[in-house]
Structure 1
Amino acid sequence: MREHSLTPVPGSTEGVAAQQFWDELRRTTQARIGLGRTGDALPTSEVLALRAAHASARDAVHSPLDISGFATRVATVGLGSPVHVPSRAADRSEYLRRPDLGRLPAESAALAAVPRSGADIGFVLSDGLSPRALTDHGVPMLAALIEALEDRYSLAPPVIATQARVALGDHIGAALGVSTVLVLIGERPGLSVADSLGIYLTHLPRPGRSDSERNCISNIHPPDGLGYARAAQVAAGLIEGARRLGRSGVDVKDTSGNNALTSVDPELPRAV
Structure 2
Amino acid sequence: MVNAMNANPRPAPLQAHEADTAVAVTVAPPASAQQADPWETLRRFTCARIALGRSGGSLPTRALLDFGQAHAQARDAVHTPLDTQTLQAALVAAGFGMPVLVHSAAGDRATYLRRPDLGRQLALASRAALADLHAEACDVLFVIADGLSARAAQTHAVPLLEQTRQRLPAQWRIGPVLIATQARVALGDHIGALLHAQQVVVCIGERPGLSSPDSLGLYLTHAPRVGLTDADRNCISNVRPEGLPYAKAAHKLAYLLAGARRLGQSGVGLKDDSDDRSEGGLPHDADAYRTVSGECPAGEVSSSDQ
TM-score bin (small chain): 0.7 to 0.9
| Cα separation, partners in 2 of 1:7 and 1:237, compared to 1, 3 Å | farther
Deviations along 1:49-89, whole A, 9 cap, x unmatched? 00000000000100001111211112222222011110011
Q: Which residue of 2 aligns with 1:167?
A: 186
Which amino acid is the alignment partner of residue 189 of structure 2? D
Moved more, 197-206 or 142-151: 142-151
Let me know the Cα RMSD of the aligned residues: 2.0
Aligned residues: 251
Which amino acid is the alignment partner of residue 65 of structure 1? L
Secondary structure of the structure 2 residue equivalent to 1:177? coil
Query: In structure 1, what is the Cα distance between the partners aligned to 2:31 and 2:112?
Result: 45
Secondary structure of the structure 2 residue equivalent to 1:119? coil
CA contact (8 A) 2:103 2:183 kept: yes
Secondary structure of the structure 2 residue equivalent to 1:250? helix
Q: Which residue of 2 aligns with 1:110?
A: 126
Query: In structure 1, what is the Cα distance between the partners aligned to 2:260 and 2:32?
Result: 55
Secondary structure of the structure 1 residue equivalent to 2:49? coil
| Cα separation, partners in 2 of 1:245 and 1:41, compared to 1, 3 Å | same
TM, length-normalised to structure 1: 0.87
Secondary structure of the structure 1 residue equivalent to 2:271? coil
Equivalent in 222, 231, 250 of residue 203 of structure 1: 222
Moved more, 192-201 or 229-238: 229-238
Which amino acid is the alignment partner of residue 244 of structure 1? R
Q: Which residue of 2 aligns with 1:12?
A: none
CA contact (8 A) 2:157 2:203 kept: yes
Moved more, 235-244 or 118-127: 235-244
Query: In structure 2, what is the Cα distance between the partners aligned to 1:123 and 1:89?
Result: 21
Equivalent in 233, 242, 253 of residue 214 of structure 1: 233
| Cα separation, partners in 2 of 1:4 and 1:161, compared to 1, 3 Å | farther
Secondary structure of the structure 2 residue equivalent to 1:190? coil
Q: Which residue of 2 aligns with 1:131?
A: 150
Q: Which residue of 1 aligns with 2:79?
A: 62
Q: Which residue of 2 aligns with 1:88?
A: 105
TM, length-normalised to structure 2: 0.78
Deviation for aligned residue 1:23: 3.7
Which amino acid is the alignment partner of residue 210 of structure 1? T
Equivalent in 175, 190, 203 of residue 156 of structure 1: 175
| Cα separation, partners in 2 of 1:248 and 1:100, compared to 1, 3 Å | same
Unaligned segments of structure 2, at least 5 residues: 1-26, 282-306
Q: Which residue of 1 aligns with 2:67?
A: 50
Query: In structure 2, what is the Cα distance between the partners aligned to 1:5 and 1:101?
Result: 57
Deviation for aligned residue 1:258: 1.9
Which amino acid is the alignment partner of residue 139 of structure 1? V
Which amino acid is the alignment partner of residue 248 of structure 1? S
CA contact (8 A) 1:4 1:39 kept: no
Deviation for aligned residue 1:242: 1.0
CA contact (8 A) 1:79 1:156 kept: no
Which amino acid is the alignment partner of residue 168 of structure 1? L
Which amino acid is the alignment partner of residue 59 of structure 2? L
Which amino acid is the alignment partner of residue 165 of structure 2? I
How do residues 1-272 of structure 1 correspond to structure 2 at under 5 angstroms? Answer: 3-4=29-30, 6=32, 22-107=39-124, 109-114=125-130, 115=133, 116-222=135-241, 224-259=242-277
Deviation for aligned residue 1:4: 4.5
Secondary structure of the structure 2 residue equivalent to 1:129? coil
Secondary structure of the structure 2 residue equivalent to 1:52? helix
Query: In structure 2, what is the Cα distance between the partners aligned to 1:165 and 1:4?
Result: 52
Deviation for aligned residue 1:259: 3.4
Query: In structure 2, what is the Cα distance between the partners aligned to 1:173 and 1:68?
Result: 23
| Cα separation, partners in 2 of 1:38 and 1:239, compared to 1, 3 Å | same
Which amino acid is the alignment partner of residue 237 of structure 1? Y
Query: In structure 1, what is the Cα distance between the partners aligned to 2:156 and 2:202?
Result: 13
| Cα separation, partners in 2 of 1:46 and 1:148, compared to 1, 3 Å | same
Secondary structure of the structure 2 residue equivalent to 1:85? strand
Deviations along 1:151-171, whole A, 9 cap, x unmatched? 252111100000000000001
Q: Which residue of 1 aligns with 2:24?
A: none
